[in-house]
Amino acid sequence: MAITNWPIYYKDNLVFGNPKSEVAILTLWTPVVKITEKLDKKLFSVVGQLYSKDGINYVIRNIIANPVIRYLIICGQDNSGSGGALIDFFKKGVDEDYNIKDNSFSLIHKEIPLEFLENLRKSVQIKDLRGVSDVNRIVKEINSCQPIGRPFGAPKIFPEHKEENIPIFPNEGSVFKINDKYIGSAWLRILKTILKFGAINKSWYGNEVKEIYNIAAVVSEENPLFPKMFPYLRVSKEDIDKYQASVMKGEKGDEVYTYGERLWNYKGINQVDEVIIPYLKKYPSDRAALAVVFDMTNDHKASRAPCMCLVQATTLKNKLNLTAYFRSHAMFSGWVLNAFGLRRLQLHIAQKLSKEIGLLTIFSNCAHIYDNEWQVAREIVEKYGDTLSKNPLDPRGYFVINTQNGEIILKHYSPEGQFLQEFRQNGKEEKAAMKMYYKLITAEAISEISHAFDLGVELEKAEIAVKNDLKYTQDKELFYGKK
């Protein structure tokens, strides 16, 4: 019995042809229209794209719900490895944990019984045309698909892959600061923040996201040529190299846009080598070294528009800093590669200006994790969240604390050890530690919460020591005896 509302998933993003056809086509990252505008609709049942490995689940669900389909042609640009993962599924199947064998980060929904997955693998033939967008080549492959004339089973719909709702904790609502040395550890902090504080909202595609507004993620030490890899990253070194290469060239290929094309060939302008770098050579301290990625005249009307809108380069002393603004940002599936691409761009600009690479700051206005990613994101945070540094160094410096003649004395030093200022408080006064803490707050001397907690403990110990004539030594237990 046919399912009348087929396709079940992402119907609005698909192009339909002949419902009796046994051929479905996936164009991966290449826009569907690039293929279908020159293709006779009698030749295929449906055509769609496959951006992510998670999308394989919905390809599988749609085909099992319409078992008339016996051939799947995979063509177009495979920018995320989704096409390769789907081919691995058909060739190798899944392991006991429902991961596609020999393919990282490719989890199949456990709501689909194994016997249906195996039947699908045996019944649908794959035509691997990855990298091909020539319609004549695709038509030739379609014509080679000999009709089988019968479905491979009865149509079946499986339970939805639902995630339990995660409680939303009270939060500041906007501007969440993430500060880390490396892209991988910064990403883990981002996941923790969104899962805990993100509100559930609807996405453009009709599913749900957990979303917070204005994450400012700052990365200080990542070397883009030798990236620091973490076990929880869902990209490989090869993925990073491939993405960085795409950002560093002005070619668009079959896609509606690429960040590389917008940066290096925006309406014929090389915004990196012909705008940013010459401008900073001439005006090294100015703030107008910008590259615009979002086209206000066309992108609001386009089927796909850039999420990254703006890149700005600035110099401070001998360092080149880079800031990027994203109007919308898929933090689970997109942020890591975006960050590595931007870091590579930053290195290029720094080298051309004979500068050191400085801070990379990424502002993500609508920062979200899609509902089908919540479970995996939560598993990563639960497994690796405790590996993050509990006491990151405060970029505003550190304090040396001692007591003398009844006073609590704090000397403030820069991270490099330069003396900055001194704070004094009479330790005999009531709530002396709190009064000293107010002085530090007024002086804007602390930026890290863990640093503030540590100082609070030390100031309370110093006050107790002064009032009870005890020996105080910073970071040591109080000595309960005479000085």
Looking at the chain, the domain(s) classified CATH 3.40.50 span 11-143
Euclidean distance between CA atoms 249 and 261, whole angstroms: 7
Q: Are 63 and 121 in contact (CB under 8 A)?
A: no
Residue 482 confidence class, pLDDT cut points 50, 70, 90: low
| Amino acid 24: pLDDT | 96
pLDDT, tens digit, 9 for 90 and up, residues 204-238: 666 788 999 999 999 999 999 999 999 999 899 99
State mean pLDDT over 245-249: 92
Q: Which DSSP state fits 100?
A: B
| Amino acid 3: pLDDT | 67
Looking at the chain, the domain(s) classified CATH 3.30.420 span 398-467
pLDDT, tens digit, 9 for 90 and up, residues 144-154: 999 999 999 99
CATH number for region 398-467: 3.30.420
Q: 11-143: which CATH architecture?
A: 3-Layer(aba) Sandwich (3.40)
CATH number for region 176-387: 3.30.572.10
pLDDT, tens digit, 9 for 90 and up, residues 143-182: 999 999 999 999 999 998 876 555 677 778 889 999 999 9
pLDDT, tens digit, 9 for 90 and up, residues 371-394: 888 889 999 999 998 888 766 788
Euclidean distance between CA atoms 375 and 69, whole angstroms: 30
For 2-8, which contacts have Cβ atoms below 8 Å and span 24 or more sequence positions?
2/66, 2/155, 3/65, 3/66, 3/155, 3/157, 6/62, 6/65, 6/66, 6/155, 7/46, 7/62, 7/65, 7/66, 8/61, 8/62, 8/65, 8/157
pLDDT, tens digit, 9 for 90 and up, residues 115-153: 999 999 999 999 999 999 999 999 999 999 999 999 999
